[in-house]
Amino acid sequence: MSTSPWNKDSWKLFPAMQQVDWPDKEQYVNVLQQITDLPPLVFAGEIRKLRKLIADAAEGRGFLLQGGDCAEEFKECTALTIRETMKVILQMAVVMTFAGEKPVIKVGRIAGQYAKPRSSPVEIRDGVELPSFRGDMVNASDFTKEARNPDCKRLLDGYFHSASSLNILRAFTRGGYASLEKVHAWNKEFLKQSKEGKSYEELAFQIEKALTFMRVIGFEPEKVPQLSEVNFYTSHEALLLGYEEALTRQDSLTGIWYDCSAHLLWIGDRTRQVDGAHVEFLRGVHNPIGIKIGPDHDLDDLKRILDTLNPNNESGRMVIITRFGKEKIATYLPPLLRSIKEHGAKVLWSCDPMHGNTFTSDSNYKTRNFNDILMEIRHFFEIHYAEGTVPGGVHFELTGKDVTECMGGAQEIMDHHLENNYATSCDPRLNAQQSLELAFLIADMLKR
């Protein structure tokens, strides 16, 4: 555990897992220098606002909704794709806020989720072995030797795709599109006939009535930021430390360091070693930090990680994202909650019901079952309520599109449907209807 002085490259003194061996070292240094000279992607004031919201949610005065692609793709950096992802998150949030009666913090896995840790460094297809796809910021997903070669110019492409994504997100959320008066417009044509789409229309209708009433009594919704705008935050896994370091900036107002590549950064289940480079890097930046925790963890290690990342036990700093799977959550979550409670660490508890429930279907697609996802979320809420802790958020891999990647849900997607529109470049995502269905179910759990 490091107690030595931190600076933005002190992580280099520690072992770093899941890094890339860039073939052209000189070009790599050059690219990082260019990113260092470019403007920050997000701003310290926004990050501070998010920390405040997370601090509230950790005490039950809010709920964190984090979601987006497993791996974003450069070619999907379009106004349409970004708008559809944002829309489904806004729909889910409004359902959870209205039916669940909690303010919802909206955080996308978006505008920078371009680098992936992999369980194997190589992929074998029909006897051919190539390096694994590591995300668009590293290599390309096509199964050829050229495509799989790491290319550090992709780091710069990642920066610019993040900047474009953020730009359109800011326009959508500030320019009236995310206004509550547009709540009907967030529904999607292909959803309208489904049960979820209809329930959503009903809820939107009630919100509209409330807004009309406010207008009648002389209130102007467009002048109230809470009604006319949305705060939408970005997040990704802080994996490639050279890139994250290049976007780490000192706030001119406070002198405090922030990683300005996204508002919230998380450490993956594979890179959270207490003596590792990821923990060392993130301990010095003041963003809210997520840590993914799967079944393979050590409670004492975890306490040391929390002490390292949050030595003053500040609220709003730590988000623990558990991802045990529907079978294992009952074994692992209660001792974890007790141990952290006894330690006195302030954290927001979030549930990732995706990564512990992945399997390969008979037709050989990597998939997840809607019911398994739902079951892990139910267990998550029940266990927290039983332990007297706060179930503070959820973390999904989802898309606003009508894909067929996860099985089940009201659409009853079966194994033989997966091939219809299986579009992910990494893990299977919930589609828009499955996401909305979960939002209604979670709203009920929130209201308890």
Q: Summarize as ranges the residues that interact with ligand PEP (CB under 6 A).
A: 70, 117, 268-270, 292, 323, 355, 427
Please give the size of the binding site for Co ion, defined by CB under 5 A.
Answer: 2
What is the separation of C-alpha 286 from the centre of its chain, rounded to a whole number of angstroms? 18
Task: Give the nearest distance from C-beta 306 to ligand PEP in angstroms.
Answer: 17
Task: Give the nearest distance from C-beta 321 to ligand PEP in angstroms.
Answer: 7
Q: Is 70 in the site for Co ion (CB under 5 A)?
A: yes
Task: Give the nearest distance from C-beta 81 to ligand PEP in angstroms.
Answer: 18
DSSP sequence for 399-425: -SS----SBBTTTTB-GGGGGGG---S
Label residue 388 exposed, middle or buried (CB < 10 Å: 0-12, 13-18, 19+). exposed
**Residue 117 binds which of Co ion, ligand PEP, none (CB < 5-8 A, kind-dependent):** ligand PEP
Task: Give the nearest distance from C-beta 116 to ligand PEP in angstroms.
Answer: 6
Q: Which residue is nearest to ligand PEP (CB)?
A: 268
Nearer to ligand PEP, 427 or 437 (CB): 427
Q: Give the footprint of Co ion on residues 419-438 (CB under 5 A).
A: 427
Nearer to ligand PEP, 187 or 322 (CB): 322
Task: Give the nearest distance from C-beta 294 to ligand PEP in angstroms.
Answer: 6
Nearer to ligand PEP, 70 or 183 (CB): 70
Instruction: Compute the distance between CA of residue 425 and CA of residue 69 in angstroms, rounded to an integer.
Output: 9
CA angle 249, 253, 254 (to 5 degrees): 75
**Residue 323 binds which of ligand PEP, Co ion, none (CB < 5-8 A, kind-dependent):** ligand PEP
Contact 324, 333 (CB under 8 A): yes
Task: Give the nearest distance from C-beta 233 to ligand PEP in angstroms.
Answer: 17
> Three-class SS of residue 246?
helix
Sign of CA dihedral 73, 78, 79, 80: negative
Q: String of b and e for 175-207 (b: at least 16 CB within 10 Å)?
A: eebbbbbebeebbbeebeebebbebbeebbeeb
**Residue 317 binds which of Co ion, ligand PEP, none (CB < 5-8 A, kind-dependent):** none
Task: Give the nearest distance from C-beta 376 to ligand PEP in angstroms.
Answer: 13
Task: Give the nearest distance from C-beta 16 to ligand PEP in angstroms.
Answer: 15
Instruction: Compute the distance between CA of residue 104 and CA of residue 402 in angstroms, rounded to an integer.
Output: 24
Instruction: Compute the distance between CA of residue 163 and CA of residue 324 in angstroms, rounded to an integer.
Output: 33
Nearer to Co ion, 84 or 237 (CB): 237
Nearer to Co ion, 55 or 70 (CB): 70
What is the separation of C-alpha 377 from the centre of its chain, rounded to a whole number of angstroms? 16
Task: Give the nearest distance from C-beta 417 to ligand PEP in angstroms.
Answer: 24
**Residue 8 binds which of ligand PEP, Co ion, none (CB < 5-8 A, kind-dependent):** none
Q: Which H or E element spans position 128? A: strand 128-131
Tokens found for residue 251: 């706030």
Biggest CA-to-CA distance, the chain: 71
Task: Identify which range of 58-66, 68-76, 310-318, 402-410 contacts Co ion by CB under 5 A.
Answer: 68-76
**Residue 269 binds which of Co ion, ligand PEP, none (CB < 5-8 A, kind-dependent):** ligand PEP
**Residue 268 binds which of Co ion, ligand PEP, none (CB < 5-8 A, kind-dependent):** ligand PEP
Q: Is 110 in the site for Co ion (CB under 5 A)?
A: no
Task: Identify which range of 67-75, 167-175, 224-232, 344-352 contacts Co ion by CB under 5 A.
Answer: 67-75
Nearer to ligand PEP, 84 or 397 (CB): 397
Contact 398, 423 (CB under 8 A): no
Q: Which H or E element spans position 147? A: helix 145-148
**Residue 48 binds which of Co ion, ligand PEP, none (CB < 5-8 A, kind-dependent):** none
Q: Nearest CA to 187 among 441, 353, 436?
A: 436
Residue 367 half-sphere exposure toward CB, CA atoms < 13 A: 25
Binding region for Co ion (CB under 5 A): 70, 427
